[in-house]
Amino acid sequence: MEWCKLHFFWWKKSKWDTGKTNKRSKVKQIKEAIEAKYDVLVINIVERSSATKIIDMAKKADIPILFFNRQPLDVDMARWDKLYYVGLDGAICYVAGSV
């Protein structure tokens, strides 16, 4: 029995990328997941400011988003009540030379 449709989208190049995977192709993959009516999108964004378009698409389809690893900008997280984030505070994660 399938409880929910769940798909992970890695908004990040992996060792299997051929250079053809880019922001445009990732947005296309997310559009396909929305059209397939997944119950939730689980997304790791590389650029914190790149969440706006994804949020707009998911909100229109009423599909919640769980962001992880990098927190979208506060202004984006405040745009909808079905956005969630798991990870460290994005404001403190970019200290050069520290872990």
Task: Tell me the one-letter amino acid at 84.
Answer: Y
Number of domains in the chain: 1
| 98: in domain | no
- Confirm whether 93 is domain-assigned: no
- Domain at 25, CATH number: 3.40.50.2300
User: Where does the chain show beta strands of DSSP type E?
Assistant: 6-10, 40-44, 65-68, 83-86
Find the mean pLDDT for residues 8-25: 50
With respect to residue 95, please indicate whether it lies within any of the assigned structural domains: no
Q: Looking up tokens 């299997």, which residue turns up? A: 16
**Domain-located, residue 1:** no
Expressed as residue numbers, the domain containing 65 is 6-13+21-86
The arithmetic mean of pLDDT across residues 70-97, rounded, is 80
pLDDT above 60 (res 16): no
- The least confident of 17-26, 42-51, 60-69, 71-80 is 17-26
Residue 56 lies inside a defined structural domain of this protein: yes
Residue 60 lies in a domain: yes
Note whether residue 96 is domain-resident.
Answer: no
Helix, strand or coil, per DSSP, at residue 48: helix
64-77 tens-digit pLDDT: 999 998 889 999 99
The rounded Cα 69 to chain-centroid distance in angstroms is 10
Residue 9 has pLDDT above 70, yes or no: no
Residue whose C-alpha is closest to residue 71's, from 44, 46, 90: 90
